[in-house]
Amino acid sequence: MLRNQYGNVTQTQTLFRNIIVLLTCIIAPLAAAAQTAPYSLGFIPASIEEADLAFPLYDKWHLSGQADLQLVTQGAYTNNNPFAYVQRTVVRPWIIYSGFKNLKLYLGYAHNKKYAIKEAGNYETLERRIIVMGTLSQNLPKGSLFEQVRFETKFFDDASGTPRTIPRIRGRFGVNHYLNQHRSKPALLSPNISYYAELMLKFPSRDYAEERFDIFRMSVYYSAGITQKIHFLAGIIGQLQLRTNGTQFDVYYGPVVSVRYSIRSKPRETFDSVDGGAD
C-alpha cells in the first residue's frame, strides 16, 4: 500500500512538472512577441476525419507500418459550418520501430494537398513533409501518460510561388484514462477518455515569418474498439495558430473523428500519435 501511495505522489509530481514546463514554453514566445506587435483574433470552425491502416512489416526487427488518409474541412470567419470548404487532403505513410519497452520511433512522409479558400485567406498549394517522431509512454494504474516529440520539415510554394523549406518541432503531452466496463458482453471494447496539449514551433527564413511560435493545440476525445481490429476516436480540438504576418491569430475548433483498422488484433488503442489539426 505504501508503495502505491508513494508511486501516486511521484506520478502527480511528474504531471504537474510537465504541465509547468509546457505552459512556460507556450507563454515565453507569446510574451516576447507581444512587446512588438498588436494582435487580432479570428475564429474558424473546422473538422478532421481520418482513416488509418496498421500492418506488420518485419517482426524480427520490430518494424510495422501505418497508412493514414485524412480529410480536413473548415468554415470561415463569417461561416460557422465546419464542413463548408475542403481545406486539405492528406496521405501519410509511416514506418514504426517498437523494439524498446516504452518508446516508439516513427519515420513518416505526408503529402498535403491544400485548397484555396478565399473567405479564410487560404491559397492552393502542395505541401510535402518529412517526419521523425518519438513517443514515450508510462503506465498508470488505470491509464497511461505519454510524451511525444516530432521533428518535421515542410516543403511548399508560398502564395507568391516562392519555394519554402520550413523545419518545425512539435511537443505533445497527453493522458489516457481507461474506462471501466461492467457488462459481461460490452458493445464497445477497451474504452478510453484521452486529452493532450501540443506546442509547435517553426523555423522559417526571416523574409517569410519572423516569429517562431506556430500552433498551440488541445484535444479531448473518446476512443474504443468495435472489434479488436477496428478502433475509433471521436472528440473535439481547439487550436491557436499565428499567421505568417505575425499579427493575426486564428482559432480553429470543431470535431475530430478517426477510424483505425489493424491487420493484427489489438486489445486497446489510445491514438497517441493521431495528427488531428487544421493548420
Judge residue 201's burial from the number of C-beta atoms within 10 Å of its C-beta, 0-12 exposed, 13-18 middle, 19 or more buried. middle
Q: Which three cell numbers stand for residue 200?
A: 509547435
Q: Which pLDDT score, from 0 to 100, does residue 41 have?
A: 86
Instruction: Name the stretches of the chain with pLDDT < 70.
Output: 1-38
For 108: left if phi > 0, alpha if psi spans -120 to 50, otherwise beta; the answer is beta
Q: Which pLDDT score, from 0 to 100, does residue 161 have?
A: 92
CATH of domain 2-262: 2.40.128
What is the pTM (predicted TM-score) of this model? 0.83
- 239-86-92-54 Cα dihedral, nearest 10 degrees: 90
Q: What is the pLDDT of residues 171-221, one digit of tens each?
A: 999 999 999 887 778 889 999 999 999 999 999 998 898 899 999 999 999
